[in-house]
């Protein structure tokens, strides 16, 4: 069995590389299940290279997450992320799954309102995100970091990522809502008011508009609301 160029692990039989291709194809089709978990477990018995082992664990954890099995997903993804060795040449070849594992683990912790724990996993994505993510994912990472820093009361840091998220997301209505809140939390009421006026002009059909309006009335005073 031929070894593809993208694979640099220790398995010379071709089984690991072929198994990875099948698993990713089924994950992309949203058809991966426990049979795939068993097959990936068998591949782990063959693979000895540290980063490729973490790559396989990342696939296992992600399948658990897609199957809504959050506890094993969290445990396995944490093990996967912790095991990577960024100083090895193979790290570049497994970067996409490393970043996806960090992102998914961050989302799990964010959903559990463990904002301080989620933050480092989203931060791990930052150095590599332009290499492995499209604009939508980059906007999501920046938004999650904004919300994590808000959740831990770090308003200045939250504002940095809120501005970046709004820029990346082309000032869509959700990012404008977050930006308004971030400016207000940082004490920049005039900028928060300007952002809300943008929302009044462009976002009245946005599903979160009533929530944004309530925030403006409560926190920006009369200057924030135009009748």
* pLDDT given at position 2: 79
- What pTM was estimated for this model as a whole? 0.92
pLDDT value, residue 227 = 54
Determine the pLDDT at residue 12: 94
Q: 115-167, pLDDT tens digit by residue?
A: 999 999 999 999 999 999 899 999 999 999 999 999 999 999 999 999 999 99
Burial of 97 (0-12, 13-18, 19+ CB in 10 A): buried
Q: Enumerate domains of the chain plus CATH numbers.
A: 7-113 (1.25.40), 134-227 (1.25.40)
Average pLDDT in the chain: 95
Instruction: Give 99-118 pLDDT, tens digit per residue.
Output: 999 999 999 999 999 999 99
């Amino acid at each position: 069995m031929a070894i593809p160029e993208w694979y640099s692990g220790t398995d010379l039989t071709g089984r690991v590389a072929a198994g990875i291709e099948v698993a990713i194809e089924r994950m992309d089709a949203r058809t991966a299940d426990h049979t795939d978990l068993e097959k990936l477990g068998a591949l782990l018995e063959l693979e000895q290279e540290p980063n490729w082992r973490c790559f396989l664990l990342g696939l296992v954890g992600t399948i658990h997450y897609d199957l809504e099995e959050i506890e094993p997903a969290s445990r396995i993804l944490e093990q996967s992320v912790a095991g990577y060795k960024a100083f090895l040449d193979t790290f570049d070849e497994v970067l996409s799954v490393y970043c996806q594992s960090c992102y998914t683990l961050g989302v799990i912790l964010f959903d559990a309102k463990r904002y301080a724990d989620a933050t480092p996993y989203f931060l791990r994505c930052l150095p590599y995100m332009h290499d492995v993510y499209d604009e939508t994912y980059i906007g999501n990472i920046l938004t999650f970091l904004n919300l994590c820093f808000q959740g831990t009361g770090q308003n200045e840091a939250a504002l940095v990522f809120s501005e970046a998220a709004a820029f990346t997301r082309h000032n869509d209505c959700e990012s404008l809502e977050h930006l308004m809140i971030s400016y207000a939390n940082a004490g920049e009421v005039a900028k928060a008011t300007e952002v809300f006026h943008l929302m009044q002009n462009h976002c009245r059909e946005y599903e979160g508009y009533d929530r944004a309006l309530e925030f403006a009335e409560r926190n920006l005073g009369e200057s924030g609301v135009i009748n």
